[in-house]
Structure 1
Amino acid sequence: MKITNYTTYIVPPRWLFLKIETDEGIVGWGEPVIEGRAHTVQAAVGELMDYLIGKDPLRIEDHWQTMYRGGFYRGGSILMSAIAGIDQALWDIKGKAFNAPVYQLLGGACRDSIRVYSWIGGDRPSDVAQAALEKQQAGFTAIKMNACEEMQYIDSYRKVDEVVERVAAIRAAAGPDLGIGVDFHGRVHKPMAKVLAKALEPYRLMFIEEPVLPENNEALRDIANHTSTPIATGERMFSRWDFKSLLQDGYVDIIQPDLSHAGGITECKKIAAMAEAYDVGVAPHCPLGPIALAACLQVDATAHNAVIQEQSLGIHYNKGNDLLDYIVDPGVFAYDDGYVKIPQGPGLGINVNEEYVIKRAQEAPHRWRNPVWRHRDGSVAEW
């Protein structure tokens, strides 16, 4: 079997899909994207595919190593996201070639389903108690919300009080059993992160996420010493080498590699195995589309330390299209009592509606950009 061609599709709301074709008629789909930089990743995919045209798609490990090590400059969000989407598509091809879901080719499943959580609140969270109750009534057992809007290095305790009030309202409305993840989103710097983590501790959170930016991961030591709440991070870390020191330092409880950013199935399976050796859980980051989610679930099936899966259905970023729009059978992601079953079809386990993908790529190719926030003094704030 040989790789013969590839096509990329920029589709709403903010995604990039990749189709890789072979001379035997088997095609694979991947989702290589950095939110807000889809066109840049698209260009990187094209450069990397120069290595792969005419090659055997089944030699996935060798292709991964070639894409990563074949360039003098390595790593980073753009290159690793391009590799990730190509890797997903190659695994999709391989699973279809052997008529098996990817997880079977990774050693088989250690679970049949995994818990999922749903987003509430948006970038500037409000009315979260009612939103959490609605998600709970829809069958979800866990939710995640952004903690706050912009926050300075040293900021008003009023902002801290507002975060606490929102979380307290969720706990009061939904009861003690709902899992609550609070995403600091890297918006909070170390001084206020310590304050906020301590203030939220009475509400028994599932985790606090990205309490500081990954370039400041050394600050996790001080934050961990201020709270017993599990600390999660990793969506802006892109390889096992990025995660190495984080795991060695021992101040993280849950890592969140993104299978569309951190080298795909091949790399994230290795990252999960590294984390297991440190008794750290894995909760893959995935506020993206159905191909990315399908890839996550294949790895979740084989990773003993996978604890919960993010998914984007109804997330505030999904304007114009949502998670289920681009697949033939939305039932493959049917959520039941807060869990989703691992897809059983060959490859990634989903059938992409190619006709609809082409239609939307032609009708509404996006140029989604992150918002740029500023503090009251005019300085740029973390989003």
Structure 2
Amino acid sequence: MKIHQVDTYPLFFRLKEPYGDANGYKFYRSAFWFRIRTQSGIEGWGECVDWLPVLEKGFQERVIPFLLGQPSTKRLQLVSTIKKWHPRIAAGVSMALTEIAAKKAGMSVCDLWGGKRWPKVPVYASFQSYTDRPDWAGHSLRMVEQAVADGFRQLKVKVGGKSLREDQQHISSLKAMLGGQAQAAVDANQSYDVATALRWNRLFESGGDWLWFEEPIPLDRADSYRLLRSRCPIPVAGGENLPGPKQFLPLLQENAVDIMQPDVMHVNGVDDFRDTLQLARHFGLRVSPHAFDGILSRCYALLAQSCLSSWSKMDGEEIEPVEWDAMENPFTSLLPIRPSGGSVTIPEGVGIGMEPDPQLLEAYRWDGSSYG
């Protein structure tokens, strides 16, 4: 079970039209896939995100030389070392080594983790609401309308990148258009202070079709989140960039959030991700994984969520939704999983139950040229 080969697949796609959130516009999508193969021929796939030149150089000069010849069974030790160099690479290596372990045992990743509880996991359509169009709000509404027509009953849109007046007009129009057909989350990407965040209460109090208010203020202000949570009429959510369970503790100790949102690619590995999900359950909280950046990491979020116990004893409660990138992203097609009726059926078979499309991996391979 020693690691024999590591192949890298840096991927790049320039968007036809830029879109974004309160942090700015995206002009391209990128991803970094890699395959780890053992001497016996068992393969596992990983994914991470960062500046592609940094990732390629890091793999070729440090990560691959370190991994070659190592026992693939020492996943926790290998990930612990790599996370000191690059935590997001460590997260991807964790995925690949988890899949190798499952394939070696002849079982699915879910069975390796104790078996899935939920054969289907709900997903919410996640939108980057801003474009450079003069009618950006109308364009946003049309995208959401199409998602509802496609079967999504939960969705997330962005605020914080325009004036409060413009954003609230957009969300008021969205709520009127939905007419109770779908629930909406509002994500501010840490754009406000408490006083400004509370100015959303008027809208939130006007109806019950809200999922949550996501990261309205900087996440390092746990005391401010506690104050906001005590006055906000809808659930408060956050945590997509926190690297592990330890970093969630201040929010939990302050009773600062209703919903935790770890991201597989932002924590220090799949094991830390699953520990974070379980931490939410220990505190009696809901957990709805963030998974915008990549389809393989989203797959692992879905697999982990399918193995998680219910947050409530109430009859009829289903597992919390996982984020589904609803924007232009050709890398979503790398794996053959798609939502249907607002949920994803968890694949069967050994490992993650599917393989990436080799032709697409080559078609979107980054050519090494400069981009920005």
TM-score, normalised to structure 1, is 0.82
Cα distance in 2 for partners of 1:212, 1:198 equals 18
Which one-letter code corresponds to 2:320 in the other structure?
V
Q: How does 1:1-383 map to 2 (within 5 A)?
A: 1-12=1-12, 13-34=29-50, 37-45=51-59, 47-68=62-83, 71=84, 79-120=86-127, 122-123=129-130, 126-127=137-138, 128-150=140-162, 159-197=163-201, 199-204=203-208, 205-304=210-309, 305=311, 306-312=319-325, 314-316=326-328, 318=329, 321-324=330-333, 326-327=334-335, 330=336, 333-363=337-367, 367=371
Secondary structure of 2:130's match?
A: coil
Amino acid of the residue matched to residue 152 of structure 2?
A: F
Does the CA-based 8 Å contact 2:126-2:292 persist in structure 1?
Answer: no
**How far has the Cα of 1:362 moved from its partner?**
4.5
* Percent of matched pairs sharing the same residue: 22
Instruction: Give, in whole Å, the separation in 1 of the partners of 2:58 and 2:254.
Output: 33
Cα distance, 1:63–1:363 mapped onto 2, change above 3 Å: closer
Give the distance between the partners of 2:353 and 2:207, measured in 1 at CA.
38
RMSD after superposition: 2.3
Cα offset for 1:322?
A: 4.0
Q: 2 CA distance for matches of 1:144 and 1:251?
A: 21
1:208-252 Cα distance to aligned partner (Å, 9 max, x none): 111112233332012112212111101111111111222222111
1:171 alignment partner, SS class:
helix
Q: Secondary structure at the match of 1:193?
A: helix
Shift of 1:295: 1.2
Cα deviation for residue 41 of structure 1 reads: 4.3
Is the Cα–Cα contact under 8 Å of residues 230 and 252 in structure 1 kept in the other structure? yes
Q: 1:133 to 1:245 in 2, by over 3 A?
A: same
Counterpart residue identity of residue 2, structure 1: K
**More deviation, 124-133/273-282:** 124-133
Shift in alpha-carbon separation, 1:171–1:99, aligned structure 2, 3 A: same
Question: How many residues end up aligned between the 2 structures?
Answer: 341
How far residue 257 of structure 1 moved from its aligned partner, in angstroms, is 0.8
| Letter aligned with residue 291 of structure 1 | L
Deviation at 1:42, TM superposition (A): 4.5
State the distance in 1 between where 2:255 and 2:159 align.
Answer: 24
| AA in 1 matched with 2:137 | S
On the 8 A contact 2:172/2:203 being kept in 1, the answer is no
1:246 and 1:147 mapped to 2: Cα distance?
Answer: 22
Do the aligned partners of 2:49 and 2:265 also contact (CA within 8 Å) in 1?
A: yes
Residues 358, 280 of structure 1: alpha-carbon distance in 2 compared, 3 angstrom cutoff:
same
The gaps in structure 2 that reach 5 residues or longer are 13-28, 312-318
Does the CA-based 8 Å contact 2:109-2:352 persist in structure 1? yes
Q: 1:94 to 1:15 in 2, by over 3 A?
A: same
Structure 1 residues 192 and 91, CA, compared in 2 at 3 Å: closer, same or farther?
A: same
The letter for the 2-side match of 1:323 is: T
Conserved 8 A contact 1:297-1:343? no
What CA distance in whole angstroms lies between the structure 1 residues aligned with 2:272 and 2:300? 12
Rounded to whole Å, the distance in 2 between the matches of 1:287 and 1:362 is 20
Partners of 1:288 and 1:323 within 8 A in 2: no
Residue 24 of structure 2 corresponds to which residue in structure 1?
none
- Aligned-pair CA distance for 1:177: 4.4
The residue type equivalent to 2:120 in the other structure is S
Q: Is the contact between residue 141 and residue 178 of structure 1 (CA under 8 Å) also seen in structure 2?
A: yes
What is the Cα deviation at residue 145 of structure 1?
Answer: 0.6
Give CA deviations for 1:58-96 in whole Å, capped at 9, x if unaligned.
Answer: 23233334445xx5xxxxxx7321110000011121222
Partner SS state of residue 114, structure 1: strand
Give the aligned partner of residue 154 of structure 1: none
SS in 2 for 1:11: strand
Instruction: Could you list the structure 1 runs, at least 4 aligned residues long, displaced by more than 6 angstroms after superposition.
Output: none
Give the match's secondary structure for 1:149.
coil
Q: TM-score, normalised by structure 2?
A: 0.84
* Corresponding letter in the other structure for 1:21: R
Q: Choose between structure 1 and 2: higher strand proportion.
A: 2
Deviations along 1:174-200, one digit per CA (max 9) or x if unpaired, are 222411011101222333123235543
CA spacing shift, 1:65–1:196, aligned 2, 3 Å? same
Deviation at 1:296, TM superposition (A): 1.1
Offset, 1:32? 1.4
Q: Which residue type is aligned with residue 108 of structure 2?
A: P
Distance 1:230 1:240 in 2: 20
Aligned residues of 2:158 and 2:186 also touching (Cα < 8 A): yes
Distance 1:293 1:366 in 2: 28
Per the TM alignment, residue 334 of structure 1 is displaced from its structure 2 partner at its CA by: 2.8
CA contact (8 A) 2:148 2:181 kept: no
Which residue identity does 1:126 align to in structure 2?
A
Distance 1:293 1:175 in 2: 29
SS at match of 1:244: helix
Q: Is the 8 A contact 1:64 1:83 kept in 2?
A: yes
Distance 1:184 1:54, change over 3 A: same
